[in-house]
Amino acid sequence: MPTNALGREIPDAVAGRPLRPYPGAFATVPTGRRAGGPLKTIRPGANKVAPSLDEAIRRSGLRDGMTISFHHCFRDGDRLVLQVVEACARLGIGDLRLFPTALFPCHEPLVRHIGDGVVTRIEGSLNGPIGAFISRGGKLREPPILRSHGGRWRAVACGEVEIDVAFIAASEADPYGNANGIHGPHACGPISFSVVDSWCADHVVVVTDNLAPYPAVPPTIEQGYVDQVAVVDQVGDPAGIVTGTLRVTRSPTALRIAKLAVDAVAAAGLIREGMSFQAGAGGTSLAAQEILARKMARAGVHAAFAIGGTTKYLVAMLKEGLVRTILDGQAFDGEAVQSLRTNPRHQRITPGFYADYNSLGCATYMLDFAFLGGTEVDLDFNVNVNTHSDGQLLHGIGGHQDVAAGARVTVITMPTLRGRVPVIRDQVTTVTTPGEVIDLVVTERGIAVNPRRPDLAEDLRRAGLPVRTLEEMKAAAERLVGKGKSPIWGDEIVGVIQWRDGTVIDVVRKVEGWA
């Protein structure tokens, strides 16, 4: 079987679709032209408002076998995906390919529609139950392809994925199709994931529970790309935006890791006037952000910009002037939505602006440093965020690849042990992000520096920080728990992990046993 640049075995094709092996983080040279939707026109006086969601689906021309797309700005509070799939079931439309940006635990009822053949394929980030269902061998006709935020935008923009009907949940929309996610009783955030869908889909339906008079501004989704507007009782529950642990951790271990991570970027000279950073929304990242904020305040320096996912903690830094601009693709709490609505320095961006590989500029390429997590890391600094060590496919990629590829210093924070499972492996179960773009791995036992960055190793040593090798930290963890068994992989492929350029960095296979 052919292998990619990381030595991972990648089949020539999966379910008839050819796979291109990953050649290196920046080796792919794109060819061709951008994709776009069909040309259409409209006359003055036309009415785009459909009498119901069912009628909008009927008018869209959606048929068996087609592809429908969604954004995930409501995260675990999304109500649209299931409403559309249930309507399709009612209308007798099946064999659909679901192309959401991400699915969450609230989408577990999809399992039933997969069983009934309404949905037969899914491409998107799979968080939780749907991923677990697929890892157990749940019957999708094709294994899901997982993409980063930038990767998904690229796939649509270059025509790799053709969307038949895009359903775009909007907390506010006007009858002409202008739509946003920052106004209305159920405001959820930027909704800019769907901009490329609106450009490229054959048919675009904006779905809202808050029809406003023309013009609804800002027009994140523009009228010129929207075929229909459908009104439903509720598109989503903003309470579900806050998922997981969106608060600063009190765990001494996580705090130690967070502090070491900040000390490391400080030692590298990156806490300075005009700096830039991205910090995620996990407990450790938030703690790191809080420590960073204090350090910046003490040093009297300001960040030119920070990239969201945005939480109230980042919003506080914007308000205090520690951060001059937030570039935001995703809101993680109500304070972030409120800030998007009211603060002009809190700027909505699309995943294309953020990280499209096939473009002449990515915000992530302008980052000084970023704190990211992961489920595993290996001795080559490859990071896994998709699967657990038991082979279960449980998480999406998010912006992990995009940020790691762009930031000058990418810091992975993780404890050396989760329960009794060592996080540092000889080889990661699944490669999500290649070691080529990872600089530091920070655990409670110390900081490992990628040998590609001897400059950083020297900075850290000079600052008296505990520099350890991954091998040392791995051995320390294994002294407490032994090595354990690893999965034996079957031939069946349950997931394809794309690198952000569209090549395949790894595939997830079904677990057949243990050795």
Whether the bond into 38 is cis, omega within 30 of 0: no
Sign of the torsion angle spanned by Cα atoms 290, 292, 295, 301: negative
- Dist. CA 183–CA 48, nearest whole Å: 21
CB atoms near residue 5 (< 10 Å): 16
Q: Which is nearer to other proteins, 269 or 361 (CB)?
A: 269
CB of 465 to other proteins, least distance (A): 10
CB of 301 to other proteins, least distance (A): 16
Q: Pick from 136, 420, 452, 461 the residue near other proteins by CB under 8 A.
A: 420
Which residue stretch of 68-76, 119-127, 185-193, 477-485 sits at the interface with other proteins (rule: CB under 8 A)? 477-485
CB of 392 to other proteins, least distance (A): 10
Q: How far is CA 55 from CA 187, 216, 322, in A?
A: 25, 23, 49
Cα–Cα distance, 115 to 176 (Å, whole number): 37
Minimum CB separation from other proteins for residue 416, in Å?
9
Shortest separation between residue 413's beta carbon and other proteins, angstroms: 14
418 interacts with other proteins by CB under 8 A: yes
Question: Binding other proteins by CB under 8 A: which of 116, 365, 480, 512?
Answer: 480
The length of the chain, given as a count of residues: 515
Sign of the CA dihedral running 22, 468, 454, 360: positive
Contact 178, 215 (CB under 8 A): yes
Q: Given the structure tokens 């439903």, which residue do they identify?
A: 232
- Amino acid present at 437: V
Q: Does 300 bind other proteins (CB under 8 A)?
A: no
How many CA atoms are closer than 13 Å to the CA of 1, on its beta-carbon side? 16
Interacting residue with other proteins among 294, 345, 452, 461 (CB under 8 A) = 294
Cβ closest to other proteins, residue 197 vs residue 444: 444
Q: Applying CB under 8 A, which part among 25-33, 169-177, 235-243, 411-419 lies near other proteins?
A: 411-419
Contact 72, 193 (CB under 8 A): yes
Residue in 100, 144, 177, 415 binding other proteins, rule: CB under 8 A: 415
Residue 286 beta carbon to other proteins: minimum distance, rounded to whole angstroms: 15
CB-based contact 70:80 (threshold 8 Å): yes
User: Of the two residues 422 and 502, which places its CB atom closer to other proteins in the complex?
Assistant: 422
User: Which residues are CB-contacts of 291 (< 8 A; sequence separation ≥ 6)?
Assistant: 258, 259, 262
Give 451's contacts (C-beta < 8 A, 6+ positions apart). none
Considering only residues 230 through 249, tell me which ones interact with other proteins, judged by CB under 8 A: none
Which residue in the set 262, 331, 363, 441 belongs to the binding site for other proteins (CB under 8 A)? 262
User: By CB under 8 A, is residue 484 in contact with other proteins?
Assistant: yes
- Which helix (H) or strand (E) segment holds residue 498: the answer is strand 487-498
The residue within the footprint of other proteins, chosen from 16, 18, 44, 252 (CB under 8 A), is 252
Of 35, 111, 301, 421, which lies in the binding site for other proteins, with binding defined by CB under 8 A?
Answer: 421
Lay out the site mask for other proteins across 359-398 (x = CB under 8 A, - = otherwise).
Answer: ------------------------------xx--------
Contact with other proteins (CB under 8 A): which of 295, 302, 408, 468? 295
Contact range with other proteins by CB under 8 A, out of 111-119, 259-267, 333-341, 499-507: 259-267
The correct pick among 161, 255, 267, 505 for binding other proteins (CB under 8 A) is 255
**Residue among 444, 459, 501, 506 that touches other proteins (CB under 8 A):** 444
* Tokens representing residue 430 in the block: 């699944």
Closest contact distance (angstroms) between CB of 253 and other proteins is 4
419 binds other proteins per the rule CB under 8 A: yes
User: Token digits for 276?
Assistant: 């830039």
Size of the site for other proteins (CB under 8 A): 32
User: Given candidates 7, 18, 213, 464, which one binds other proteins under the rule CB under 8 A?
Assistant: 464
Q: Give which of 336, 334, 332 is closest to 317, Cα–Cα.
A: 336
Whether the Cβ atoms of residue 77 and residue 240 lie closer than 8 Å to each other: yes
Place of tokens 């002449």: 360
Cα dihedral sign, 471-475-476-480:
positive
**d(Cα 337, Cα 215) in Å, to the nearest integer?**
20
| Rg of the chain (C-alpha set) | 22
250 in contact with other proteins (CB under 8 A) = yes
Name the site residues for other proteins (rule: CB under 8 A): 250, 252-253, 255-256, 259, 262-263, 291, 294-295, 389-390, 415, 417-421, 444-445, 464, 476, 479-486, 514
